[in-house]
Amino acid sequence: MKVLGIESSCDETGVALVDATGAATPRLLAHALHSQVAMHQAYGGVVPELASRDHIRRVLPLAQQVLAEAGCELSHVDVVAYTRGPGLAGALLVGAGVACALGAALQRPVLGVHHLEGHLLSPFLSADAPQFPFVALLVSGGHTQLMRVEGVGRYELLGETIDDAAGEAFDKSAKLLGLGYPGGPALSRLAQQGDDAAFKLPRPLLHSGNLDFSFAGLKTAVLTQVNKLGDTLPARRADLAASTEAAIVEVLVKKSLAALQASGLKRLVVAGGVGANRRLRAELDAACERRGVRVHYPELSLCTDNGAMIALAAAMRLAAGLEQARRDYAFDVKPRWPLDEISSAESA
């Protein structure tokens, strides 16, 4: 069974084709991505209307590219999957509309997928795929959550951010440091040249006794330092970047370890854009090795938004018998959609 996946929830258009046979982990045949970062850069962030229009321009050429790379025709597609939410409403509507139009034209069923479930399952496409059950640390631009994952569609929320997401903390701090948008990767690169102990920054909720996160105070602390440094900021930028990254990563690592301890599980899966962060990977690897915990990450190219994770999540939900793809081609999107709300009944 070949599943075409379309991702359009934010500022990347992603299309991919996976091949799924029975209960085996689906195989990625090809994927293609167009990032809108350059287009939004001038505005310092994502402009939703521009995002939607660009998805419209990109999605079909990307689909053609994927099919050509996979050596397939449109008629070989068995199911068309798309991101149903959460995300920007207009951007989601493009993917949903195109998926349903393709499905109707090809007389193939379609399936709407939860974006975070895509991230969560994305490590199954890596060479070192995980096994259930595991603790998942979902760290993206919009979400920071710890989940207990028993199987496909069986997600229990253990803790989440009460304000900014980890990716937002990276992006907002990077903006304060004058590093542009999206700042996470840029801040991380600069941090490699800095002293991570140069500035004392807060580790919010580190000792809260629960598994929740808070990053808004960190951004304020970075702003205070930037104001204090004034004209001397350029000379200290790398140190402040390194200190900021260290604060975010320390909280993510300690809370992940606490979640593993509380759940008694020995397997951790890291997913979402911030999962590409080198320091996070290095510190998690070291801490987990000491505790006999296995850590799994998506391939670096599949950490940030992509169509492969959407095709994969659709294929895994279908294989698990959680739902059936639909042929009514009536779609709605869910800009706000907590992951622990999805169940076979709700999304069917």
Q: Which is nearer to Zn ion, 103 or 184 (CB)?
A: 184
Q: What CA–CA distance (Å, rounded) separates 21 from 317?
A: 13
CB of 309 vs Zn ion, minimal distance in Å: 8
Q: Output the six-digit token pair for 278.
A: 């080198």
Q: Which is nearer to Zn ion, 9 or 243 (CB)?
A: 9
**Binding stretches for Zn ion (CB under 5 A):** 140, 305
Q: What CA–CA distance (Å, rounded) separates 101 from 227?
A: 52
CB of 280 vs ligand KG4, minimal distance in Å: 7
List strand residue ranges (DSSP E) for the chain, in order. 2-7, 12-19, 27-35, 79-85, 110-114, 134-139, 144-151, 154-160, 267-271, 294-296
Q: What CA–CA distance (Å, rounded) separates 326 from 330?
A: 9
Q: Output the six-digit token pair for 168.
A: 């937002």
Q: Which is nearer to ligand KG4, 245 or 323 (CB)?
A: 245
CB of 202 vs ligand KG4, minimal distance in Å: 19
Preceding amide of 133 cis, omega within 30: yes
CB of 92 vs ligand KG4, minimal distance in Å: 12
Q: Which is nearer to ligand KG4, 75 or 301 (CB)?
A: 301
Q: Kindly state the DSSP code that residue 25 receives in the 8-state scheme.
A: P
Q: Which is nearer to ligand KG4, 243 or 263 (CB)?
A: 243
33 binds, among ligand KG4, Zn ion, none (CB under 5 to 8 A by kind): none
167 binds, among ligand KG4, Zn ion, none (CB under 5 to 8 A by kind): ligand KG4
End-to-end CA distance of the chain: 20
184 binds, among Zn ion, ligand KG4, none (CB under 5 to 8 A by kind): ligand KG4
**Binding stretches for ligand KG4 (CB under 6 A):** 10, 119, 140-142, 167, 170-171, 182, 184-185, 188, 272-274, 276-277, 304-305
